[in-house]
Chains A and B, each alone.
With several copies, the nearest count.
Chain A
Amino acid sequence: MAGLDDLYQELILDHYRRPRHRGTLAHPAIIVDQHNPLCGDELHVTVCLDGDRITEIAHTGEGCSISQASASMMSDAIVGHTTGEALELIEHFRQVMHREVQADEDQLGDAVALEGVNKYPVRIKCALLSWMALKDGLLTRMVDQQESR
């Protein structure tokens, strides 16, 4: 059972069993849905902002252990950051998943435990699902703001 223990570390299982930030926020600034074409899983993410700062994130939807744990860890890692910082963090996590850089624990917090997923290409999509949802939401909001100016 050696190899797989990277994928199913205790920390990941913990976030899977007791997901943080699960649910839907009442008055979100950002609402976004993302689906994983491989398994059909859908994720719903809501975000509250104070100016440019992310004050709260919530996620709901069906998913495997990896996507659920990842959404939980992502929320932990992102809350409190500005949207610009969040985009950088997301990009860092994307690079970790694609083996372009080593994971930086200071930035990622518990999500650093997901690094081992990058040995399982199909599951990378599971790990990235919530992060890509948030990125989509942040970028869409930026475009909307540009246009409403």
Chain B
Amino acid sequence: MPLAADIDARALRADFPIFAPVGDREPLVYLDSAATSQKPTAVLDAMDRYYVETNANVHRGVYALAEEATARFEAGRDAVARLVEAPREGTIFTKNATEAINLVAWAWGVRNLRPRDVVLVTEMEHHSGIVPWQIVAEITGARVVFAPITGDGELDLDWIARTLREAPVRMVNVVHVSNALGTINPVAEIARMAHEHGALVLADGSQSVPHMPVRFADLEADFLAFTGHKMLGPTGIGVLVGRPAILADMEPFLGGGEMISDVRTDGCDWADLPWKFEAGTPPIAEAIGIGAAADYLRHIGLEAVRAHERALVAYALDALEDVDGLRVYGPPDPDRRGAPISFSMPDLHPHDIAQLVDRQRVCIRAGHHCAKPLMRTLGVNATARASGYIYNDSADVDALVRALHAARAYLGG
């Protein structure tokens, strides 16, 4: 049953070869897109075509093959920039969202943070938004401070406002949509507060850019990080979007080929943006792949994706109430949450839940979701997490609920 008129998940599945039926094997119920999404043929084909038709290194070769490779690579950048309406010179390819955040932490942080400066992160941050700052804080003497969450799994904005007033906060790293709670955070509001106090803002869009309309300018953040493999694109590529004026003032991060304009024995000159931050041979096929993914998403329409997922989450929150004792974490209101739904069941360890529902080929995640500080706040070691995407519909949720009942029956309790 389609959930919203906008997207017919069953029909879309035909674009994703992994869902193709194989003999009489049970169909795949993939509910782990917050970890990584499946890939449509359009993305895989775009990459294969590069390798088979015009494989060459980019930016330097003058022969036709190399010119074509460069054109396809830079078109990938254009497609990504278009998706979030970012300037292309501020759209930098990294290897994943994690490197994008590290780029800011190392390139900006190591050179700008002073002892006792504060980097504000949140208790619901992914490790990738925490650990780079902890490492750089150790080197610089700065401090990493965690913004607490409320009982409903939302950020405590008053606490943030107070801390911005009282502490020398230089950077705020905030996840746009939490991968563990689903919470959609008010990035623009936080950015306005931070900017009033001279702090920069890095928004982690890993779980938002694939799932809803995200305009870089609307976030009002200085940086936005996201990752290819969660948005229908390949592994091996991520994106850092930054305000060009800030990026232009920053020293580079990784050094090497591509990012220089001149190298002398006594120093070097940097290349223009965005290449100044892209050292070495870039992920060429991957840039072409993420470009195809961005185009695919824009073709479906991010408004439609969001409407579909909101309906899916509402349906799931309802359906999961059927399961005895099951507890969902994060905001109860589907309007305030993205796709991921974390939950626990009494006397059934998340590992066992995930393993047992896999019997029906229902794929969900179990663990700390790279958010251990959050797990401590929630008072658990781990949760189970189901997360849908454009190719999921209410039948998948029904399959999950059936599998949860079966798991409970099997392991007793």
Instruction: Give A residues with C-beta under 8 Å from B.
Output: 1, 4, 7-8, 13, 16-17, 35, 37-42, 62-66, 120-123, 126
Contact residue among A7, A8, A13, A39 (Cβ-Cβ distance under 8 Å from B381): A39
Shortest Cβ distance from A40 into B: residue:
B381
Q: Give 1 or 0 for each of B58-81: 1 = CB within 8 Å of chain A CB.
A: 011110001100110000000000
Q: Are A66 and B356 in contact (CB under 8 A)?
A: no
B352 touches A64 (CB 8 A): yes
A39 touching B411 in the complex, CB below 8 Å, given contacts A1-B359, A120-B62, A122-B67: no
List chain B residues, Cβ under 8 A from A38.
59-60, 367
Q: Can you list 5 A-B contacts with CB-CB less than 8 angstroms, sorted by A residue number?
A: A8-B356, A8-B410, A17-B412, A35-B261, A64-B350
Interface size class of B (residues with CB under 8 A): 20 to 34
Select the residue from A17, A35, A41, A62 with max chain B CB neighbours within 10 A: A41
B4 close to chain A: CB less than 8 A: no
Is the beta-carbon distance between A4 and B359 smaller than 8 angstroms? yes
Q: Would you call B349 an interface residue if the criterion is a C-beta within 8 Å of the partner chain's C-beta atoms?
A: yes
Which of A13, A17, A39, A42 makes the CB contact (< 8 A) with B351?
A39
Note all chain B residues with C-beta closer than 8 A to A7. Answer: 355
Known: A65-B349, A120-B62. A37 touches B411 (CB 8 A): no
Contact between A37 and B375, CB atoms less than 8 A apart? no
Closest Cβ of chain B: how far from A7's Cβ, in Å? 7
The answer to whether A121 and B70 have CB atoms under 8 Å apart is yes
Q: Which residue of A lies closest to B271 (CB)?
A: A37
Q: Which residues of A contact B381 (CB under 8 A)?
A: 39-42, 62
Additional 8 contacts, C-beta under 8 A, given A4-B359, A39-B367, A64-B352: A8-B356, A37-B261, A38-B60, A40-B382, A42-B381, A65-B411, A122-B59, A123-B351
Counting from the closest, the 7 A-B pairs by CB-CB distance are: A40-B381, A64-B349, A64-B351, A37-B261, A39-B382, A40-B368, A122-B62
Contact call B411/A13, Cβ cutoff below 8 A: yes
| B386 interface residue per 8 A CB criterion | no
> Looking at the complex, which one of A16, A35, A63 makes contact with B262 (CB distance below 8 Å)?
A35
| Residues of chain B lying within 8 A (CB to CB) of residue A1 | 359
Chain B residue at minimal CB-CB distance from A66: B351
Contacts of B351 in A (CB 8 A): 39, 64-66, 123, 126
B382 A41 Cβ-Cβ under 8 A = yes
Give the residues in chain B near A66, CB-CB below 8 Å. Answer: 351-352
Give the residues from 313 to 354 in chain B that come closer than 8 angstroms, CB to CB, to chain A. Answer: 349-352
Q: Let me know if A123 and B411 touch, CB within 8 A.
A: no
Instruction: Please report which residues of chain B, range 230-279, place their CB below 8 angstroms from some CB of chain A when the two chains form the complex.
Output: 260-262, 271
In the bound assembly, the distance between CA atoms of A47 and B269 in angstroms comes to 26
Are A4 and B412 in touch, CB under 8 angstroms? no
Is there an interface contact between A63 and B349, defined as CB atoms closer than 8 Å?
yes
Chain A's closest residue to B412 (CB) is A17
Q: In the complex, which residues of chain A have a beta carbon less than 8 angstroms from the beta carbon of B372?
A: 40
User: In this complex, which of A4, A37, A66 has the most chain B Cβ atoms within 10 angstroms of its Cβ?
Assistant: A37
Q: A39-B368, A40-B382, A64-B349 are in contact. Are A121 and B356 (CB under 8 A)?
A: no
Rounded to whole Å, the gap between the CB of A105 and the closest CB of chain B is 25
Mark contacts of B26-67 with chain A using CB atoms, 8 A cut-off: 1 yes-contact digit, 0 otherwise.
Answer: 000000000000000000000000000000000111100011
Interface residues of B in 357-413 (CB under 8 A from A): 358-359, 366-368, 372, 375, 381-382, 410-412
Docked Cα-Cα span, A59 to B368, in Å, equals 23
Whether the pair B359, A123 counts as a contact (CB closer than 8 A) is no
A65–B349 alpha-carbon span in the complex (Å): 7
Taking a contact as CB atoms under 8 Å apart, the answer to whether A122 and B352 are in contact is no
Chain B residues within an 8 Å CB radius of A63: 349
Question: With the chains together, A126 CA to B71 CA distance in Å?
Answer: 17
Query: Are A40 and B61 in touch, CB under 8 angstroms?
Result: no
Nearest residue (CB) in A for B360 is: A1
Once the chains bind, are A37 and B382 in contact (CB under 8 Å)? no
Chain B residues 193-228 with CB under 8 Å of chain A are none
Chain A residues within an 8 Å CB radius of B261: 35, 37
| A41 CA / B410 CA spacing, docked (Å) | 22
A143 to chain B, nearest CB (A): 18
Determine whether the beta carbon of B260 is less than 8 Å from that of A37. Answer: yes
> Could you say which residues of chain A place their CB within 8 Å of the CB of B358?
4
Least distance between A132 CB and chain B CB atoms (Å): 12
Mark each residue of chain B from 296 to 328: 1 if its CB lies under 8 Å from any CB of chain A, else 0. 000000000000000000000000000000000
Neighbouring A residues of B375 by C-beta, 8 Å: 40
With contact pairs A62-B381, A123-B351 given, residues A37 and B262 touching in the complex (Cβ less than 8 Å): yes
Measured CB to CB, the nearest residue on chain B to A4 is B359
Query: A64–B352 Cα gap in the complex (Å)?
Result: 6
A128 CB → nearest B CB, Å: 13
Shortest distance between the CB of A126 and any CB in chain B (Å): 6
Q: Are A65 and B67 in contact (CB under 8 A)?
A: no
